[in-house]
Amino acid sequence: MEKISSLAKRRGFVYQSSEIYGGQNGAWDYGPLGVELKNRIAGAWWKEMTRLHDNIVGLDASILMHPRTWEASGHVENFTDPLVDCKKCKSRFRADQIPQENLTAKKCPDCGGELTDTRKFNLMFKTHIGPAEDSASIIYLRPETAQGIYVNYKNIIQSNRMKIPFGIAQIGKAFRNEISTKNFIFRTCEFEQMEMQYFVKPGTDEEWFSEWRKQRWAYYEKLGIKMDHLRWHQHGPDELAHYAKDAYDIEYLFPMGWRELEGVHNRTDYDLGRHTQFSGKDLQYIDQDNNNERYIPYIIETSAGLTRNLLMIFCDAYDEEQVAEKGNEDDWRTVLRFHPDLAPITVAILPLMKKDGLAELAQDIRAELKEDYAADYDQSGAIGRRYRRQDEAGTPFCVTIDYQSKEDGTVTLRFRDSMEQVRVPRAELSARIRSEIKAYKRIK
């Protein structure tokens, strides 16, 4: 993880928030390459969920919601972690994340000092809206995006004439006052989620639950993730959330071990039932194709962290490879093997020399390609060094312009993963890159 976070910082993917003030725990900033990668991951998920499904539509709900929302959802009462403090070294732990013997003996796992009793700690960030800081003005930063979907479900049925089964997808920020925020961007206080809520007829929920498990698994396969680094974990009775009938996590083998990446949950009619109760509004679905039958839909949720997906994709893509080019056995490269659809830079244009009109020709080619692709330009340093820089940024294609390019209009297309090079007529370059992206299969 150390290598990954330092590469992420060095190449402008992720910086610590407010670093010049010593950093802010649990918050991170996404630099030029990081924001591109994050947008592309969000774009791939959005396409998968909305464009590829005729019956799933999008939503962008506000972060601040009526405080009753969080009473109805159960977050005010139940969204807590068990917390213990060390009286001596002042370290703070989640009681469920330290060894049971320490808890029983009330002994700090770090310094051996005495631990406090376990107390419940609500993870929601609480603030005030308006000028008065009294209990009537309390408002929360949303701890999940899902509730914004539930409170809008009737609006969407009416405005878009949706019929069950249908889904609503949303990407957005969520906030949790996490007790421990180790492991780089894995668990943070401010993060982004990609959630899809699928509304189904009660009785069909188990079928849809297994369908969505299949689809979410296939999605990661399509992105070229190492499938032996993914596994399912079913929640046991003591892990199931208060609203869930069944829940599976997709776990990824991160450098610190297997950890949750995404959850698929059968939330039953809990959420809409509770919002009916707390708002006094009738949230039943009226099935006009079925004698106006009325029911509260069941909800199947797929809930993934966008920032956690970014960490997973970064870890999954990271590779160090001995390249023994030019007979030098000690030559190593660091390469990020991103799927070309996700890579922050798709193609880099590199003139072999700055002089003799090669730079101008390269700029001209770049201007043409940037209409279709995220295209970078680099003319400084030896060509081998420039390839390494692009490998480290995860750029799948490099185009090199040399003297022959001036003569016969061909350029060299170099592939990141195989390091193979082919000559391509300039006029065919854009189409060739397009077909390479479409046919992309991860080879290492």
Contact residues for ligand ATP, defined by CB under 6 A = 144, 176, 178, 187-188, 191, 193, 260-263, 303-305, 307-308
CB of 146 to ligand ATP, least distance (A): 9
CB of 134 to ligand ATP, least distance (A): 29
CB of 296 to ligand ATP, least distance (A): 22
CB of 210 to ligand ATP, least distance (A): 19
Residues 153 and 272 sit within 8 Å (Cβ to Cβ): yes
- Nearest CB to ligand ATP, comparing residues 223 and 261: 261
- Nearest CB to ligand ATP, comparing residues 194 and 365: 194
In sequence order, what DSSP letters do the residues of 127-172 get, joined into one string?
Answer: EE-SS--SGGGEEEB-S-SHHHHHTTHHHHHHHHT--SSEEEEEEE
- Nearest CB to ligand ATP, comparing residues 246 and 391: 246
Angle between helices 358-369 and 429-438 (to 10 degrees): 50
Element (H, E) at 100: helix 100-105
- Nearest CB to ligand ATP, comparing residues 73 and 307: 307
Residue 314 neighbours by CB under 8 Å, 6+ apart: 4, 8, 13, 37, 336
Residues 432 and 353 sit within 8 Å (Cβ to Cβ): no
Please count the other Cβ atoms lying within 10 Å of the Cβ belonging to residue 86.
20
CB of 19 to ligand ATP, least distance (A): 19
C-alpha distance from residue 223 to each of 302, 337, 340, 393 (Å): 17, 11, 9, 18
Residue 69 neighbours by CB under 8 Å, 6+ apart: 147, 151, 275
Q: How many residues does the chain have?
A: 444
Residues 158 and 151 sit within 8 Å (Cβ to Cβ): no
Q: Give the CB-nearest residue to ligand ATP.
A: 305
CB of 257 to ligand ATP, least distance (A): 13
SS3 state at 307:
helix
Closest to 157 (Cα-Cα) out of 210, 216, 197, 194: 197
- Nearest CB to ligand ATP, comparing residues 149 and 261: 261
CB of 420 to ligand ATP, least distance (A): 36
Q: Is 31 exposed, middle or buried (0-12, 13-18, 19+ CB in 10 A)?
A: middle
- Nearest CB to ligand ATP, comparing residues 28 and 153: 28
- Nearest CB to ligand ATP, comparing residues 308 and 388: 308
Element (H, E) at 321: strand 318-322
CB of 308 to ligand ATP, least distance (A): 4
- Nearest CB to ligand ATP, comparing residues 63 and 353: 63
CB of 31 to ligand ATP, least distance (A): 18
- Nearest CB to ligand ATP, comparing residues 42 and 323: 42
In sequence order, what DSSP letters do the residues of 242-290 get, joined into one string?
Answer: TT-SEEEEEEEEETTEEEEEEEEEEEETHHHHHHHHHH-----EEETTT
Residue type for position 178: E
